[in-house]
Amino acid sequence: MYTTKKDGTLLIKMEAPISPELVTWILGWHTAIKVTKPGLLIEDIIKRLEETLKMYK
């Protein structure tokens, strides 16, 4: 389900298991997406991004 907000962005609500495939799909959107719930998914995404950043330090 999605809703178009007044600023033109989309709010997408979906039920899906948290999986490596979901996280990879989300990360593929780069800065064009922001996860707001659930916290466990947000933590997983942050962890993956931090691991990637370490590769370039």
pTM: 0.84
Per-residue burial over 19-45, b if 16 or more Cβ lie within 10 Å, else e, is eeebbeebeeeeeeeebeeeeebeebb
**Per-residue pLDDT tens over the stretch 38-55:** 999 999 999 999 999 999
Confidence of residue 33 (pLDDT cuts 50, 70, 90): very high
- pLDDT of res. 34: 95
- pLDDT of res. 19: 96
For the purposes of burial, counting CB atoms within 10 Å of the CB of 48, is it exposed (0-12), middle (13-18) or buried (19 or more)? middle
**Per-residue pLDDT tens over the stretch 12-23:** 999 999 999 999
Question: Could you give the CA distance from residue 13 to residue 54 in angstroms, rounded to a whole number?
Answer: 31
- pLDDT of res. 7: 95
